Structure formats: C-alpha cells, structure tokens
C-alpha cells in the first residue's frame, strides 16, 4: 500500500474519533471543542442534541471516506497528491453535509428560543 494512503486513512480515523468524542462525551456548552453554531448554543438541550447528531454524522461519513480512498487508490492512476486532495475534498464535503443536516434537525426539533417542540 501507498504511504500517502495510510496517512490519509489515519487522518480519517482521527475525524472518526472526533465524532465519537463529540457524540458520546460533549463538553460543556460554550467550550472550544464541539459543534458550535448559533442554533446549537441556544440551550443545553440543543447543545447536547446537536453534538450527538453531528458526531454520528462524522462517524458515518468516515468509513465512506476510507472506502472512497481505497477504491480511488486501487482503480485510478497513481499520483501522490491526488489522494490527499481527494481526502481534503471528502472531509470538507462531509463537514458541510454534517452542518446542513444538523442545522435542519435542530430547526425541526427546537423552537427559536431553544425549547423543544412538542411531539418530537
């Protein structure tokens, strides 16, 4: 295997472990580490729900990134920077998807003042 591929897989595993940390053990609201947005910092409930959901999204996207990296390395011509650029693009896309999915979930589950909507 290519050393660049192994480094990229290690970086994806770091993203996965960050997702586990955010999902299972979120810090206090307002800390530096966690899913920080205007909607997630409205109340303690929104903070906990946003961090749990964002962490799960990151954990689900990491295996897909590893599969994409391995398939790309196997079937496309080899170039050292190509796989790293693919990794950066896949991480950016997964972070954007995580952001939009989490914000959508928060808008469906909570009112603008941070209180949970009924029947959710």
Mean pLDDT (10-residue bins), the chain, 120 residues: 80 90 79 82 88 92 89 76 84 92 92 83
Domain locations in the chain as residue ranges:
3-109
Q: How many CA atoms lie within 13 A of 93 on its CB side?
A: 11
Q: What is the pLDDT of residue 120?
A: 63
Angle at the Cα of 93 (from 91 to 97), degrees rounded to 5?
Answer: 115
Query: What pTM did the predictor assign?
Result: 0.85
């Amino acid at each position: 295997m290519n050393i660049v591929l192994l480094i990229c897989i290690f970086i994806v595993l770091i993203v996965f472990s960050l997702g586990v940390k955010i999902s299972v053990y979120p810090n206090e609201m307002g800390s530096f580490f966690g899913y920080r947005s205007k909607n997630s910092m409205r109340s303690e409930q929104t903070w906990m729900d946003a961090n749990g959901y964002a962490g799960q999204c990151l954990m689900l996207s990491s295996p897909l990134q590893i599969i994409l990296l391995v398939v790309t390395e196997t079937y496309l011509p080899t170039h050292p920077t190509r796989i790293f650029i693919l990794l950066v693009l896949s991480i950016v896309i997964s972070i954007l998807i995580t952001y939009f999915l989490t914000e959508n979930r928060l808008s469906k589950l909570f009112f603008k003042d941070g209180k949970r909507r009924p029947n959710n």
